Amino acid sequence: MPTEFAFIDALKARVRGGEGVRQGIGDDGAVLAPPAGEELVVSTDTLVAGVHFPQDAHPADVGYKAAAVNLSDLAAMGATPRWCTLALTVPSLDPGYVEPLVAGLLALLDAHATALVGGDTTRGPLALTLTAIGSVPAGQALRRNGARPGDAVYVSGTLGDAAAALALRGTRLDPQDGEAKLARTRLAQRLARPTPRVALGQALRGLAHACIDVSDGLAADLGHICRQSGVAAVIEADALPVSRALAPLEIDPARRLRLQLGGDDYELCFALAPEDEAQLAEIAHACHVPLTRIGSLGPGEGVHVLDHAGRVIAPPVAGYEHFG
């Protein structure tokens, strides 16, 4: 088994340099030159084995997802990702595990020109904590507290794939049904390797009044925008975008709605003035992601989900609560 120092040396050799990195891995701290005139955006997320991913998940997927959830937070702030630290806790430095994990992590970081600049390696129950640092032009970060009554509410991509993948895990699959198998693979991929909407977040700067990533579930996350902005949201269940993998599955509407509000989708939910909606078509095209209007904001509080007949679906479905 390699020692910790050998692991760090190997990591150092594999990591790409990044803009503004004066000192990367290999000192007591990283030294970074922030872009002039920009503010920093910092996000920290932990994935714990057996809680956020199954113990037997492929290590490359684990590394990828750890990067994805952090980049998704930066995306929700409209930030350009720049640097990242990795705190890796593992039972042992088994190269068969940590090498693909690091490869999965670096694959996504490299794709976003984000440099791994330091971290810590410790022995213990498997968990990863990433801290991602990005930047935005001063004053332009997307927040949760700027939404206004009358705003339209949008979501990127589709909702429900991750929750559907979780729900389908371990259920019976007809081995002859190629289409069902393909759909399941696509859903599993969305759960294991979500796409952080990094370009979209940056494109929404100066346009969206509020933005959040849908990690804990649409109801919970939009609820944060409502609470912090002092508004109410009305969402139409039928408007929630469904992926081509999820759509053909024979799921009753109530259950499908639960999946769509279920979380782990890492799409962006944002509010903007109706007069600015026209700009979204171009942004969707440029960022290669569909943008769907799912409702609107008004005075009041809370997130209210309406069915096809305009009835409020009660009780509102809660999002992911880590200690629930």
Is residue 206 at the binding interface for a copy of itself, with CB under 8 A as the rule?
no
Q: Minimum distance from CB of 136 to a copy of itself (Å)?
A: 7
Residue 314 is a binding residue for a copy of itself (CB under 8 A)? no
Nearer residue to a copy of itself within complex by CB, 49 or 164: 49
List 12, 16, 19, 92, residue binding a copy of itself (CB under 8 A): 92
Select the span of 75-83, 169-177, 240-248, 300-308 touching a copy of itself (CB under 8 A): 75-83
CA atoms lying within 13 Å on the CB side of residue 320: 18
The Cα 283–Cα 268 span in angstroms is 13
Tokens of 149: 């009554």
The residue among 65 and 184 lying less far from a copy of itself, judged by its C-beta, is: 65
Q: Does 219 bind a copy of itself (CB under 8 A)?
A: no
* Non-local CB neighbours of 264 within 8 Å, separated by 6+ positions: 162, 163, 166, 191, 194, 215, 320
Tell me how far, at minimum, the Cβ of 6 lies from a copy of itself, in Å.
Answer: 10
32 HSE (CA, 13 A, CB side): 23
Closest approach, Cβ 251 to a copy of itself, in A, equals 28
Does 34 contact a copy of itself by CB under 8 A? yes
Total of chain residues touching a copy of itself, rule CB under 8 A: 71
Q: Which of 60, 133, 163, 198 is the binder for a copy of itself (CB under 8 A)? A: 133
Considering the complex, what minimum distance in angstroms separates the CB of residue 282 from a copy of itself? 24
Residue span binding a copy of itself (CB under 8 A) among the ranges 34-42, 165-173, 249-257, 302-310:
34-42
Q: Is 219 left (phi over 0), alpha (psi -120 to 50) or beta?
A: alpha
Work out whether strand 152-156 and strand 127-137 pair parallel, antiparallel, or are unpaired: unpaired
Closest to a copy of itself by CB, 76 or 240: 76
AA identity, residue 117: V
Based on the shown chain and the rule CB under 8 A, indicate whether residue 136 belongs to the binding site for a copy of itself. Answer: yes
Tokens, residue 132: 């991602």
**For the CA atoms of 109, 57, 267, 288, what is the dihedral angle to 10 degrees?**
60
Residue 247 CA to its chain's centroid (Å): 22
Q: Counting contacts by CB under 8 A, is residue 43 touching a copy of itself?
A: yes
Residues 137-196 interacting with a copy of itself (rule: CB under 8 A) = 138-139, 141, 143-144
Least distance in angstroms from the C-beta of 179 to a copy of itself: 37
Rounded to an integer, what distance in angstroms lies between the CA atom of residue 225 and that of residue 231? 8
Query: 267-272 and 302-306 as β-strands: parallel, antiparallel, unpaired?
Result: unpaired
The first and second tokens of residue 230, run together, are 């002092």
Regarding 63 and contact with a copy of itself (CB under 8 A), the answer is: no
CA 160 to chain centre: 13
Which residue of 4, 177, 282, 301 would you call a contact of a copy of itself, by CB under 8 A? Answer: 4
Among positions 12, 14, 19, 50, the unique one binding a copy of itself when judged by CB under 8 A: 50
Report how far apart, in Å, the C-alpha atoms of 187 and of each of 23, 92, 180, 251 are: 40, 31, 11, 14
* Window 273-292: residues binding a copy of itself (CB under 8 A): none
| 265 binding a copy of itself? (CB under 8 A) | no
Structure-token match 């701290």, residue found: 29
